[in-house]
Structure formats: structure tokens, C-alpha cells
Structure 1
Amino acid sequence: MRTTTHTEVLIAGAGPTGLVLAIDLARRGIPHRIVERSERGFPGSRGTGVQPRTLEVFDDLGVVDAVVAGSGPVPPMQRWQGPEPADRWNMTEPAEAPGVPYPEVRMLPQWRTVGILCARLEELGGRIDFGTELTGFAQDADGVTGTLRHADGTTETVRAGWLVAADGGRSGVREALGVAFTGEQVDARPVLIADVLLKGPDRARIDPGHWHMWEGAEHGFLGLRQLEQVETVQVIVGFQDTARRLDTDVDATPDALTRLVAERSGLALTVDEVRWSSAYRARAAMAERFRVGRVLLSGDAAHVHPPSGGQGLNTGIQDGYNLGWKLEAVLRRGAPDALLDSYDTERRGVAADVLGLTARVHRRDLKGDGENRWRRGKETHQLTLNYREGPLSRELRRDLAGDALRAGDRAPDAPCRDVSGARVRLFDVFRGPHFTLLDLTGEDTRRTDPLPDWVRPFRPVDDEGRVKERYGSGLFLIRPDGYVALATDDASDLAPCLTLFSA
């Protein structure tokens, strides 16, 4: 049986990237379909680190409270030598820069992140079509026609204006497009990761307050970490034999993992149940293009990262966050098609930089680079990633200091007051699907030309000087994804800039 449906945006894949995009579209009132071939959300812990910039995204999307409540800080590292504990150290450092409301990395199993995002999407009236796979598609000048296969064997033809591929590192959409996916194998040694229930006489020694590591085991690395607010323990096992091919059906059984954990730790521990497992070799790769006509690649379909530094999930989330407002501008405001070309330009540049970072971090860990080994600095927080050289950034002020905020930078938070005298944060003002015109000119004259309804003006009462400290003076057009589009001292520069985002 075949049915035919219509929507404006079809999203293939309901991982964090696809869900963030769906949430953003839902709050903008853009009809969409998000399909996921699995019968339920992602079941594993992979992608546990949530960076400070991602927490800001989650603040805007209305899920940060649930994320913070369901997560925990990065635990201190506990190195072991056989069955005896050795030294301890902190793996991460907080983002102590001003204007950062969420300075610490949070640890959250990916299955819980997906659950929180699913609940938010449903709250906004959306839903996920689980057990539904995109099996083929064709595009033309006006849209994309996709074929969906449901779990019961029925098929459906869906007509959409745009297709967004968030279908993972083995993306069928990317393969069908023939887009090259090139990169390098950062580490040839295989790694097994599993979520397990751990028992035995020494179980209490694997306390949830630390991340337990055995680096000196004869045949490879072992890591154990109890996941946040559950009894499940994440097991990470590295193998020195680069020729070994891991099979989770064989290597991730309770008996096999019990042997590995016992051999490498020297502790009396038993794996009682395996709830999820996966195997990988660290790889860095990126698609040659993120846009082909009316099809856009995002998340792992566009770039895959080594797990070092906790960047992959976070970069994918920002793909979705970058794309949602641009799709609305094209679909609702007649914005030029080039606006979606900017998605390709901006996110490929960021992905390339992040891939370089994760590869360097991974190799640094392998080399044992002194005190920096197994440490993550501020470069992993994603707060300094910017679009300064991008096609949507207009920096028109002169004689700026070297460390001044510029167009293309992330717009920082700051406390201030609104015209009524109420205390607010800039992030309270920015929150939502709109642009914000931040007026720091210091002039009391009112604008005579009206702003479009998708731009909200805000002139803060900056009695503590925090806003000026972080922005300087001028007019700042803040994009819906929290980046500065325009910085100028001349109000006449605003109108030409707005034409980038509407007809």
C-alpha cells in the first residue's frame, strides 16, 4: 500500500542533530516530518559531554533545565595501577570568561539527551515517525520527493521543499548524492564501548564520583564510569592489535566483558548485563559539500569526529541550530537562496576546525604529552567558534581593539535592565526565534523607520556597565542562533543587512 503526503521540510534521522532542527522548526510553525528507522530513540551512552555553547543552545530551545537536572559534572579522573588506585586529576576546566552563563561541561548519556529533546518536540506539537526509513529520494527545482518504508512494510511518498540528512556517519542520503566523504583514520586501534550492569565484591570501589582508568594494562586501555543518575556503568576497552576486528555479538557479551574487565583491572568485577554496545576506530572525516540543491547534510552525515574532546554531538547540534532559522527565512520571508549556501560555508568551516582540534587532542592523549594528557581546555567549549569570515557577517566599525567583539562572533550574555527597570540577562532578550537589534549607541533618539516584525529592538539600561564591557558601542544585529550579524555605528547600515535575510 502506498500513500502520498506533503510537508515543507523532511528530516531523515532523529538523533540530537535532527531533533534540534525539528524543535527549531516546530517553534517557528514550519511544517516538517522527522523520520527514524529505529523503533525507538538511541539506546546508548555515546556522546556524553555537553559543552558550554551547547548548553546555551539548549537554553534558547527550552530544555536546559532538564539537561542540567539530568546530568552531572565531568568527574575527576582516577588512574589505577592494577587493583590499586593511583593519582587523580581534573580532566576539564570551566569557561571562566565573562558572559558565559553555563561555564562547565555537563555529562549526560546520549539516550537521555535524545529523550529530553523528544519530549520538547512533543510539547511543541511535533512527533517522530519511528520505524520509518527513507529508502530513496529524487529532487527537482521545486523540492524533493522521498520514499518512506514503514515497519509494517507499507510505503509512503512524501513531497517536501527541503530534505535534511541527519542519518549518521553511514548516511544513505550522502551516498546517494555521491558526495565525497574524505578524512583520515586517527587511530587504527579498535575500541569497544558498552553500557553494562556491574557487580562483584569490588563493585563499590567503582564509585560514581570518579572516572576510573587503567592505561597500563598489557593489551590496552580500560575505562569505567558510572553514568549519571542510573546504575549503568560505561565500559571503554581499547585494543593494541590494529588488525583485530571487533564483533559486538561476540566481544560485548557479559562473559567476554567480564574477562576483559577482570584481566585489565585486577578487580573482582562481573558484568551482569549488557544494555548497549558499539565498536569503532577513531576517524576524522568531512563531506565535500553540505548542500546539494535542496538536500542538506548535517551532523555525522556531514562530519565524523574522534570522541576525544567531546565535539561530535555538539557540532551536530549547532548544525541544526544554524539551519532552522535559515530555512524559515527562505520559506516564509522570501530570503535569497544564497542564505542556505551560507549554511554550507559557515558549518563546513567550523567542522574543519573542530576536526583538526579533535585529531590533535586524540594524538596528544596517545603520546602522553605531559600534564596535558587527558585534559580538556577551553578550546573544546565551542564558545570561540565564529563566522567572522562568513558571507553573513558585516563588521563596519573602525579602530577596534584587538580583543574586541566582532561581527561573526558569538553574542555574549550580560546582566542589565530593560526600560521598565526589571533585571534581565541579554540571553533572556535573545531567547526565541527572532533577530534582536541591540542598541548600544547611547543616543536617545527613536527610530523613525519601522523594523520588520522578525527583528526585536532592545536598548538595555546598562547601569553596571557589563553590556558595554562585552560589546563596546554601536548597533548590533543578533541572529537567532546567537551570533552577531552586523556591528555598526551607522543606523543606515541596517537596511542593506536585513536584505540578506528576507526579500
Structure 2
Amino acid sequence: MTPSVLIVGAGPTGLILALILLQNGVSVRIINKEVEHRIGSRGAGIQARTLELYDILGILLGVQKEGEPFKKEGQLDFIAIYNPGETEPVKVVPANWVQAPPDTPHVHGLMIGQDTHERVLREYLQKLGATIELATELHSFEQFPDHVVAHLIKTDAAGQQHEERTEFNWLIGTDGAHSIVRKQLGFTFLGETRTEQNMAVGDIVIEGLDNRRFHMWNVSPNSILLRWNHSSSQLFSYAYTGRADEKTLTREEFIEEFHALTGRHDLTFGEAAWMSSYTPNIRMVDRMRDGRVFIAGDAAHCHSPAGGQGLNSCIQDASNLGWKLALVEKGLAPPTLLDTYGEERLRVIAQMLQLTTKLHDKTWANGTLARSERPSELSMLGVNYAGSSIVLEGEGASRAGSDAYTKVEGGRVLAAYRAPDAPGLVRVGSADAPTTLFAIFCATAHSVLVFGGDAAARTSVADVVARLPKDSAQLVVLLQQGATSGVESEVSAGATVLEDRAWHAYRGYGLDAGELTIVVVRPDGVVGAVVSAAEGVETYFRKIFV
């Protein structure tokens, strides 16, 4: 049986998209033109919001096992800045570790090399029966009202090429900045290329350096930044500026230039795992969909690495598109739902390009990698879809600004923003250990959270949820501590009834225990609606389902 969706490109965007679709019961085929999986740490910073999405997807523990937090308790400094020839830093940037609050369990992000990251994602896909087809390239495609025809070229072990013509219901290009899918669609990719800011980049083993912090040397017009990868390894990623061309340095050339710039001859260099060149591009499309064909990730936007937003934005593309495409493919939602993918994401990407370009310009002051302050927005916890046509924004929406990266501090939970976590929740009528909201949320269904109200009011909400397509939404009733008597019927009716013993749910969502408030959380962890009656729940879901 031919899979429903062809995903072109097997980087993090394509892998996460495939994972979401497979979890939703949608079959996929993933192809990659490379003969082997790419090596190199590349985009290694996983931001807090991405970790929350991974928590909801059920893959967080596997990623955390292979990575390491940006900052740890007791860590004193984050970046060491040196004068040439000196072994002790002239300045250190403090780590500023903070305790994670209950509603935001992943504050500092995670460091994991992109090659390792992709391997972990492939292992999760294998558990769902999916594999990556290497040496398989999309040559062209044709689009029809009810399907897409893909023309593929497969290269076998002997180097012989074989042509294939296959039909799919949908095609998604996650094939990078040089996307063949975007080019064939004819989408604009406007922006600029900073050729004067070429960099040599790569991964190399360096003995004699602290592998729990960054190291930086600035000698105008050149700079070198070394980024640690893991405390169990002496492998560092480097960015060397001041390159006059895009030539990839050899290991020996890099070492020679390192010695000349830093004056450090006390370090021992080992294997260079990966070496390349990089030229900053700042570009984005004005559309992300044409009929049955989509683009996501670097195929739709590219930007400077400043702030570590690129890979994370790509993953948010996948999480936004995945649940919507699954509903449409299964006939539960109208095709117009897919228009909201670009509607929601383009606004965020435009803001992200402004943020990262501003940070890049500050970082690149006077042609060197000057240290600049990292704004809190880089955690991506404030990324929102305010103004979206499928978000039911009600009371309190005036607090939401037009800034797609603005995090609203305190107060009542808002539609269009991330749904906070809440630990210390105990399932009523069970002996289970306490759980969290992130453990309850899932990528295969909306979560309808019911706070406060009496049994009759909660029953009216349950009736609305019961009329929705099977398994498309889960009802979660959150009760204040001690208010669990007489809820056996709600448990037996299929609702997940939780006692908020630590008060983190009510406090974190800014809600009163006496008032009925329903918070509808989308499969991507975004609040779709905050309403005060069952009718509001019906109004929201009319925006989603057929």
C-alpha cells in the first residue's frame, strides 16, 4: 500500500513531522538524497519550547539521555573570553542558572549535536515501523486535485540510477535551503546573503580546554568561538570568522590559523569530525502551501545561527502542520484547516528573522564575534499564534500584543499561547504516582481541561466532547485539593479526573477554583480556547472539525 504522505528530506523537520503523522495513524514515506546520514553537530541548541513539545510527543527522555543541559546547578560561568597568548580568561560570562518553576520545567534548553539528535529521532521512527530511504532524490512532481505524482531517482549500491513514479495524497518539502520542492512551486525566497561574513565551521577534538563552557577570542577583524558539545567529550564546534571566501579549511589550515589568532600552543588537537564553510542567509517565503504540497523548516526560511532559533523554528513548523494534516487526511477536518499552517507560522518566522538578524548584527560588531546579551525570547516560550483564525480569543486577549515572541507573564492563561505544565496531579480513584499536564497532553488529540464548576456544568462539557470524532479529544477534569467526592461517575464516563494537590494547575493557569473555566489545548501544546461554558467549546471545535 502506498503511504499517504511523501516527506522529502530527513533532517529534524522531516523526522518530527513523520513522527507526528505516524503517531496519528497516517502513513509516511521519508526520502533523503544523501547516500549516508550527515555528520556534524551543526544546530545543537534545543530551546525550552522544543523540549516541551518533545515532552508532549513522548520522546523527551531519549533526547535528554544523549544531550546535556545548557546550564547546570552550581555552574559558575558560561563563556570564557581570552586575550591572545593568555591561558586564563580576561572575562567570563556567568551561567545564571535558575530553578525551573512548576509551569516551565525546561528553562535552560539542551545541548545535543544535530547528528546525534537525528539518530535519536530515527530510532523513535523505527519503533513505529518507519525507515529513511537514503540515496533517493525527488526529481520533480505533478499536482492534481486529489493526489500528487512524485518522480523519484534512486541510486543503488553500484551507483546505478533507477526512476520511479509514485502517487501520494500529500507531499512535504523539508529539503533545506536549496529546496527542490520550493523551487518547483515557484515560491519567492526573498532576503539577503551576507557574503562578507563567511565563516569556517566544524567539529574538532581539543585537549586542554574546559569542556563545560564556551571559549572566545576576538582579534579584529577575526574571531574564533569554540562551543562545547558534551562534558564527556573534548569535541568542540568552532566558528571562525574573517574568511575572505567560502573555501572549506583543512584540519591543518584551521590549526595554523587558530595558533596565529589565539597565540595558544598549549592545546592538543585531535580528529576533525566535520569541517565546512558557512555564509549567513536571511530569507523567507511568503507562502508555505500550494494545494497538496507544503514546505517546512529551512526550505521555507533561513537565518543566521545567532540565538539558536533555526532548528527549533523548523521543529515548530512540523508540530503545527502535523496535527492539522493528520485530521484532514483522516477526513475529520476540512482542507481549509491547512491554510492556517502558513497563517500562523509566517507571522512567527517574520518575527524570528527580525530577532535573530538584530542579534547577529550585534554579535558581529566590528567584524568580530562580540558578546551580546541574549534576550529571554530565545527560549521560545512566548511564541504565539495571536490573531489566528482558528484560535478562540476571549477575555484577556487584549493582553496579547502583536509580537509573535512576546511572553505574557503571570495572570490568566491566554488562548494562542503555550499551555503551561503543572506537576503534582493525582488521578482520582487510582494508586498511580503523581503526573503532570505535559504527560497528559498528546500529539494525537486535543485536551479539554475543565477547571472549577459543579458536576452539572462539567457534564455539559463532557457531552460536547462526546459528540466530537472518536479519539479526537480527551476530557481532563482538574479538581482542587480535597474536592474529589462524588466524581466517580465522571471517572467512569471516561474523563481523566485529576486532583490538583499542589495547586500548581490552578495557580499556573491563573484560575479560580469556583468558576467554570475550560481550556482547550491543541495537539501542538498551544491553547486554542479559554471559555467559560460548554457552548464556547462547541464554538472552538466548529473551527477545527468538519
- Give the residue type in structure 2 aligned to 1:42: R
Residues of 2 paired with 1:399 and 1:310: CA distance?
29
Q: How does 1:79-98 map to 2 (within 5 A)?
A: 79-84=81-86, 85=88, 86-90=90-94, 96=100, 98=102
- Give the residue type in structure 2 aligned to 1:426: L
Q: Does 1:390 align with 2:408?
A: no
Offset from partner CA, 1:352-389 (integer Å, 9 cap, x none): 11111111111222338xxx933323210011111121
CA offset at residue 208 of structure 1?
A: 0.6
Match of 1:317 in 2: 315
CA offset at residue 401 of structure 1?
A: 7.2
Query: CA separation of 1:187/1:322 partners in 2, compared to 1, >3 Å: closer, same or farther?
Result: same
- Give the residue type in structure 1 aligned to 2:104: V
Match of 1:12 in 2: 8
Match of 1:112 in 2: 116
Q: Does 1:236 align with 2:279?
A: no
Aligned with residue 70 of structure 1, among 40, 45, 66 = 66
Contact map agreement 1:419 1:460 (CA 8 A) in 2:
no
Match of 2:520 in 1: 477
Match of 1:412 in 2: 420
Residues of 1 paired with 2:165 and 2:428: CA distance?
52
Aligned with residue 22 of structure 1, among 18, 35, 39 = 18
Contact map agreement 2:297 2:313 (CA 8 A) in 1:
yes
Query: CA separation of 1:39/1:399 partners in 2, compared to 1, >3 Å: closer, same or farther?
Result: closer
Match of 2:217 in 1: 214
Contact map agreement 1:95 1:104 (CA 8 A) in 2:
no
Residues of 2 paired with 1:187 and 1:375: CA distance?
25
Contact map agreement 2:20 2:443 (CA 8 A) in 1:
no
Match of 2:192 in 1: 184
Query: CA separation of 1:405/1:334 partners in 2, compared to 1, >3 Å: closer, same or farther?
Result: same
Offset from partner CA, 1:220-269 (integer Å, 9 cap, x none): 01122342233422121101x6xx22221xx2x12211111111111124
Match of 1:131 in 2: 135
Contact map agreement 2:55 2:439 (CA 8 A) in 1:
no
Residues of 1 paired with 2:181 and 2:96: CA distance?
36
CA offset at residue 482 of structure 1?
A: 0.5
Residues of 2 paired with 1:340 and 1:95: CA distance?
39
Query: CA separation of 1:307/1:150 partners in 2, compared to 1, >3 Å: closer, same or farther?
Result: same
Match of 1:258 in 2: 255
Residues of 2 paired with 1:481 and 1:276: CA distance?
34
Match of 1:438 in 2: 449
Match of 1:495 in 2: 538
CA offset at residue 97 of structure 1?
A: 5.4
- Give the residue type in structure 1 aligned to 2:210: D
Structure 2: give runs of 5+ residues left out of the alignment. 72-77, 401-410, 482-501
Residues of 2 paired with 1:219 and 1:396: CA distance?
52
Structure 1: give runs of 5+ residues left out of the alignment. none
CA offset at residue 399 of structure 1?
A: 9.2
Between the aligned residues of both structures, percent identity stands at 31
Q: Normalising by structure 2, report the TM-score.
A: 0.84
Contact map agreement 1:94 1:105 (CA 8 A) in 2:
no
Residues of 2 paired with 1:62 and 1:41: CA distance?
24
- CA RMSD between the two structures: 2.2
Contact map agreement 1:335 1:499 (CA 8 A) in 2:
no
Residues of 2 paired with 1:162 and 1:94: CA distance?
44
Equivalent pairs counted in the alignment come to 484
Residues of 2 paired with 1:87 and 1:399: CA distance?
44
Contact map agreement 1:186 1:306 (CA 8 A) in 2:
no
Match of 1:140 in 2: 144
Query: CA separation of 1:460/1:14 partners in 2, compared to 1, >3 Å: closer, same or farther?
Result: same
Offset from partner CA, 1:257-312 (integer Å, 9 cap, x none): 11111111111246443321221222221012111111111000011121000000
Contact map agreement 2:396 2:412 (CA 8 A) in 1:
no
Query: CA separation of 1:97/1:183 partners in 2, compared to 1, >3 Å: closer, same or farther?
Result: farther
Offset from partner CA, 1:467-500 (integer Å, 9 cap, x none): 2223225111110000111111121122232132
Contact map agreement 1:419 1:461 (CA 8 A) in 2:
no
Residues of 1 paired with 2:454 and 2:467: CA distance?
18
